[in-house]
Structure 1
Amino acid sequence: MESTLIAGIAMAEALQNRLPGLENMWLWVTFLGDPKNLFIFFFPAAYYASRRLGISVLWITFITEWLNLIFKWFLFGHRPFWWVHESGYSSQTPIQVHQFPSSCSPSGHCMVTGAALWPIMTAISSQVASRSHSPWVRAIPSLAYCTFLLAVGLSRVFLLAHFPHQVLAGLISGAALGWLMAPRVPMERELSFYGLTALALMLGASLTYWTLFTLGLDLSWSVNLAFKWCERPEWVRLDSRPFASLSRDSGAALGLGIALHSPCYAQIRRAHLGNGQKIACFMLAMGLLVILEWLGHPPQISLFYIFNFLKYTLWPCLVLALVPWVVHTFSAQEAPPVRSS
């Protein structure tokens, strides 16, 4: 194992020393691969392209992120968020062994993003295959998917967030989960199903956490190390704490059920939105997201968890129901009446 860790450090040093001046690019790549952005950007974009596709992306995202959290707990790890700002990364600082996370596996960026983007990749591949007989053209979506995930993985190593073997574990498990889950995503089940799913996610993770804690395992060790080693403690974000992703996942599960059973969704469920209306929906959703982000969050950790849960409960309701209903309603009002001959 020690040789694997030393090889990982050597790879990070090689990326930093042989590719100078690319810090901003790697930060941008790792930002695009952040599981949080699957909820915020990829989910609404996919939903306004295809209703089934959007629901699949959201479902796979919060289930896979929950599984990633549990895997890390059982493997004695959590998100290594303290070394980059992402947390104060500097290519001029020599890498020390203690700077690398020792067991944060698999990489959440690779695992969650790989799983959630799988249905998008397969949907695009299907569309391309129906329009082209060239095997090279048909391979473009798969190559783009693999290239993007590889870039995300390299960015995590470059930023000292993961060892290469942790990235590889995330890539393999993410693709496998995406392949397994995409055909089995539940569509428009009863509201109790989504409520019980949210409750199961919350209770399952809480029970796991407290069981391991009772056994003497400190699952919050990374938080203590963050405040100890980070040059500026304010860089340690609240949304990187252990239960932040859990509150996001359980909130999204409940919000998905509420959205699918809302009066607004019932009115626009069978409505056909044109391309212009879909673009308007996406822009309006992003505008509402800016407002939600502008509100900030409470500094107290317990209140933050509650706020995060409510925020991600509201988000599917806005994307699936309220925003399309508003756009469809106003578009219908603005349409000129059809004259009978």
Structure 2
Amino acid sequence: MDALHAAGIHFAEVLQSGPRWMEDVWLTVTSSADPKCIFTICFPLAYFLDRKVGVAVLWVGLLAEWLNVVCKWFLFGERPFWWIHESGFGSGQQLTVRQFPVSCETGPGSPSGHCMITGAALWPLVSALTALASRHSKSLLLKLIPFTAYMLLLVAVGLSRVYVLAHFPHQVLSGIVAGAVLGWGLQARTPITRSMGFFAVTSLGLLLGSIALHGLMIAAGVDIDWSIRLATTWCKDPSWLRLDTRPFASICRVAGSALGLGLAAGDPKHWDKPLPPRQRAACAVLALAAVRGLQHIPQPQQVTLWYTSSFIKYAAGPGLVAVLLPRIARAITRPQSRPHAQ
């Protein structure tokens, strides 16, 4: 495994030795593919493209993120920015690799969450775009465009994660494969017609299941928080360490989104009355702004309160997108009835 890690460090060194302008490209790619963007950008856009696709994107994304956290707890994957120091690899030779603010992830490294969650969540959207292209054209090239773009995006995301020393190449590859398999397997099992109670139970199950698993591993003598200590020790700048990169921050995001998804999928009285295209476009823009504003609300510094407020934010997001904004749009455009003649 050390040989695999060493090869990954040398590959990252080659990437970082490229043109200086590529640094901005890789940093933009890795930031744009942050798992949070599935919940705050991809879901609103997909929902107003097609409700079922939007619900599938969020459902697959939250399950993929939960499974990613569980896999990381069991696989104990190293991250390059701390492995260099912990292994002594950096002291034995001259290395030119450097850290960035996005390098200092605090969870274990395997598999890559950026690749796994993005790959899984975008699969329903790519499948829908491929089906749309098939209905309107017989061109094989046109049909291949969505999945070609999908694969190129995942490759770019993977390279960006290696570039910033957040992952080794084999962690990126495993994330891409796991994400594609999950997306393919879960998109047809999206609970479109389930009640709010189903999603509430799902949210509680994901939250309590994670807490129980965490407790059992600690009781078994497993140092499950080892990665947080290593990240804190070897991160170049302590201000780069963020609570939202901790595994339990992902659990709160997942559980909150599962609860909020009940509002997005469980409001059936509007399913047969889709908004006109212009209204959908306007709602998509407003949803992006509203969800972004929601995420920028300051959160308390105390850890437990931070996790609680994060849960509330991600629970509120789907309701804002799927219920509040469409109802406002319908109310504004509802034709006014004429007064009765006296």
TM-score, normalising length from structure 1? 0.88
Residue of structure 2 aligned with 1:143, choices 131, 148, 159: 148
Bigger shift: 156-165 or 230-239? 230-239
The offset of 1:21, in angstroms, is 2.8
SS of corresponding position for 1:57: helix
Q: What is the root-mean-square deviation in Å for CA atoms of aligned residues?
A: 2.6
SS of corresponding position for 1:56: helix
Please give the residue correspondences for 1:111-126 in structure 2 after superposition, counting only pairs within 5 Å. Answer: 111-126=116-131
Compared CA separation, residues 64 and 38, structure 1 to 2 (3 A):
same
- 2:163 counterpart of 1:158: yes
What's 2:203 paired with?
Answer: 198
Q: Give structure 1 stretches of 5+ with no counterpart.
A: 84-91
Residue of structure 1 aligned with 2:304, choices 302, 305, 308: 302
Bigger shift: 103-112 or 19-28? 19-28
Bigger shift: 54-63 or 280-289? 280-289
Contact 1:201 1:246 in 2 (8 A): yes
The offset of 1:82, in angstroms, is 8.4
Distance in 2 between the 1:18 and 1:227 partners? Answer: 29
Contact 1:78 1:104 in 2 (8 A): yes
The offset of 1:272, in angstroms, is 2.5
Bigger shift: 251-260 or 8-17? 251-260
Contact 1:80 1:161 in 2 (8 A): yes
What's 2:87 paired with?
Answer: none
- 2:296 counterpart of 1:288: no
Q: Which amino acid aligns with 1:61?
A: G
SS of corresponding position for 2:282: helix
Contact 1:61 1:116 in 2 (8 A): yes
Distance in 2 between the 1:327 and 1:15 partners? Answer: 47
The offset of 1:137, in angstroms, is 2.0
The offset of 1:230, in angstroms, is 2.3
Compared CA separation, residues 255 and 202, structure 1 to 2 (3 A):
same
What's 2:249 paired with?
Answer: 244
- 2:189 counterpart of 1:187: no
TM-score, normalising length from structure 2? 0.88
The offset of 1:267, in angstroms, is 5.0
Residue of structure 2 aligned with 1:311, choices 303, 310, 313: 313
Distance in 2 between the 1:78 and 1:291 partners? Answer: 34
What's 1:75 paired with?
Answer: 75
SS of corresponding position for 2:223: coil
The offset of 1:4, in angstroms, is 1.2
Compared CA separation, residues 95 and 322, structure 1 to 2 (3 A):
same
Q: Deviation per CA, 1:270-301: give whole Å up to 9, x if none.
A: 32311210121112222322432332111111
Distance in 1 between the 2:199 and 2:108 partners? Answer: 32
Distance in 1 between the 2:245 and 2:59 partners? Answer: 21
The offset of 1:209, in angstroms, is 0.9
Distance in 1 between the 2:75 and 2:264 partners? Answer: 35
Number of residue equivalences: 324
Compared CA separation, residues 16 and 253, structure 1 to 2 (3 A):
same
Distance in 1 between the 2:251 and 2:78 partners? Answer: 13
Q: Deviation per CA, 1:295-332: give whole Å up to 9, x if none.
A: 21111110011001111111111011011111111022
SS of corresponding position for 1:18: coil
Contact 2:244 2:250 in 1 (8 A): yes
Distance in 1 between the 2:69 and 2:182 partners? Answer: 15
Residue of structure 1 aligned with 2:279, choices 263, 277, 280: 277
What's 1:54 paired with?
Answer: 54
Q: Deviation per CA, 1:48-69: give whole Å up to 9, x if none.
A: 0000000000000101100000
What's 1:87 paired with?
Answer: none
The offset of 1:79, in angstroms, is 8.1
Contact 1:247 1:309 in 2 (8 A): yes
Contact 1:46 1:57 in 2 (8 A): yes
Distance in 2 between the 1:46 and 1:82 partners? Answer: 37
Compared CA separation, residues 254 and 211, structure 1 to 2 (3 A):
same
Tell me the percent identity. 43
Contact 2:55 2:264 in 1 (8 A): no
Contact 1:267 1:325 in 2 (8 A): no
Distance in 2 between the 1:259 and 1:122 partners? Answer: 20
Q: Which amino acid aligns with 1:223?
A: I
Q: Which amino acid aligns with 2:55?
A: I
Distance in 1 between the 2:81 and 2:264 partners? Answer: 32
Distance in 2 between the 1:260 and 1:100 partners? Answer: 36
Distance in 1 between the 2:56 and 2:81 partners? Answer: 28
What's 1:328 paired with?
Answer: 330
Compared CA separation, residues 318 and 260, structure 1 to 2 (3 A):
same
SS of corresponding position for 1:106: coil
Bigger shift: 133-142 or 109-118? 133-142
Distance in 2 between the 1:103 and 1:252 partners? Answer: 23
Residue of structure 2 aligned with 1:226, choices 207, 213, 231: 231
What's 1:175 paired with?
Answer: 180
